[in-house]
């Protein structure tokens, strides 16, 4: 029986699995994710932080989806290596899963800067639901939240947390002022202070300010570290042709972890889902 493995349980990975099942009910289909959750709307996690929706509203596929479509779901399995000769996906604990065709749909993740103290509890690389749940649980005991970033997500988090009457210091540039948010653009964070947990940050000027958590919503880089030692060609992300084929004929890449070598590519939730939805027909012709 043909074995298809999809790494990624989100917009691109789920739509890929659906498009494969639409034309192929026979192959063994496995989805792998390093998160502990059923598929959820990653792009709406700040609505949960804001209290506009409940956690259950985020999930767009339930246990039944995987069961009814004969999809094996492997959660909390971080992929650290690919063996393309033996066609194996290798997990952090060195366990592995074998494939005949592989779909990489691993999106992107925040790359934390190499600051002293960056490993402390309370430093948050904001990738999705796990981190938003941590913020929600810890906000009631927070006095000051530090956010590092200039983008829309940084501004949105700052606005949401400031509205909860918690002091917010944003290290970056805001396009317009936000009530309750102090923006600092000329004195970056240089060190995270505390024992095992964040207590304060030191700035380039040497000034120290108290902080209960430090949130990094950016910069985001494709989550493709496990691809680097393979023959799969990459630029900023994995290079694919118009049929989402990588330089290895039995490996495909979709969503935010891929870029086209032939045409400009769009990013974001809808584009990732669209990429995946085209994959079924392509894979089954191969």
Contacting residues toward ligand FAD, per CB under 6 A: 7-13, 32-35, 42-43, 45-46, 78-79, 105-108, 126-128, 153, 223, 226, 255-256, 267-270, 272
Q: Return the structure tokens found at 262.
A: 């032939």
Closer to ligand FAD by Cβ: residue 178 or 194: 178
DSSP E strand stretches across the chain: 3-7, 28-32, 71-74, 79-83, 88-91, 96-98, 101-104, 108-110, 123-125, 144-148, 167-171, 181-184, 189-193, 200-203, 208-210, 213-216, 220-222, 238-240, 251-253, 258-260
User: Closest approach of Cβ 244 to ligand FAD, in Å?
Assistant: 12
User: Closest approach of Cβ 125 to ligand FAD, in Å?
Assistant: 10
User: Closest approach of Cβ 190 to ligand FAD, in Å?
Assistant: 25
Closer to ligand FAD by Cβ: residue 49 or 194: 49
- Asked if 52 and 136 count as a contact pair (C-beta separation under 8 A), the reply is no
Closer to ligand FAD by Cβ: residue 33 or 101: 33
User: Closest approach of Cβ 85 to ligand FAD, in Å?
Assistant: 20
Q: Return the structure tokens found at 152.
A: 């829309």
User: Closest approach of Cβ 143 to ligand FAD, in Å?
Assistant: 23
Closer to ligand FAD by Cβ: residue 128 or 194: 128
DSSP string, 179-245: TTEEEE-SS-EEEEESSSB--EEEETTS-EEE-SEEEE---EEES-GGGTTSS--BSSSEEE-TT-B
Closer to ligand FAD by Cβ: residue 45 or 232: 45
Q: Return the structure tokens found at 160.
A: 């949401």
């Amino acid at each position: 029986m043909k074995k298809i493995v999809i790494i990624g349980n989100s917009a691109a990975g789920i739509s890929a699995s659906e498009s494969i099942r639409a034309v192929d009910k026979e192959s063994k289909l496995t989805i792998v994710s390093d998160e502990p959750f059923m598929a959820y709307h990653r792009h709406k996690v700040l609505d949960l932080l804001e209290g506009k929706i409940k956690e259950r509203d985020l999930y767009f596929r339930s246990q039944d989806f995987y069961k009814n479509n004969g999809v094996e779901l492997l959660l909390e399995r971080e992929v650290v290596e690919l063996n393309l000769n033996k066609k194996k996906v290798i997990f952090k604990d060195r366990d592995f899963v074998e494939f005949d065709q592989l779909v990489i749909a691993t999106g992107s993740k925040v790359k934390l800067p190499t600051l002293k103290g960056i490993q402390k509890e309370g430093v948050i690389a904001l990738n999705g639901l796990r981190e938003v749940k941590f913020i929600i649980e810890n906000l009631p005991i927070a006095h000051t939240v530090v956010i590092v970033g200039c983008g829309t997500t940084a501004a949105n988090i700052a606005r949401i947390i400031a509205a909860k009457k918690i002091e917010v210091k944003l290290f970056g540039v805001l396009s317009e002022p936000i009530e309750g948010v102090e923006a600092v653009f000329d004195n970056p964070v240089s060190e995270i202070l505390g024992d095992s947990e964040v207590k304060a940050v030191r700035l380039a000027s040497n000034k120290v300010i108290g902080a209960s958590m430090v949130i990094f919503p950016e910069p985001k880089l494709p989550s493709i570290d496990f691809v680097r030692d393979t023959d799969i060609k990459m630029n900023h992300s994995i290079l694919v042709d118009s049929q989402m084929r990588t330089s290895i004929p039995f490996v495909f890449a979709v969503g935010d972890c891929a870029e086209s070598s032939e045409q400009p590519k769009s990013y974001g939730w809808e584009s990732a889902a669209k990429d995946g939805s085209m994959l079924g027909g392509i894979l089954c012709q191969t």
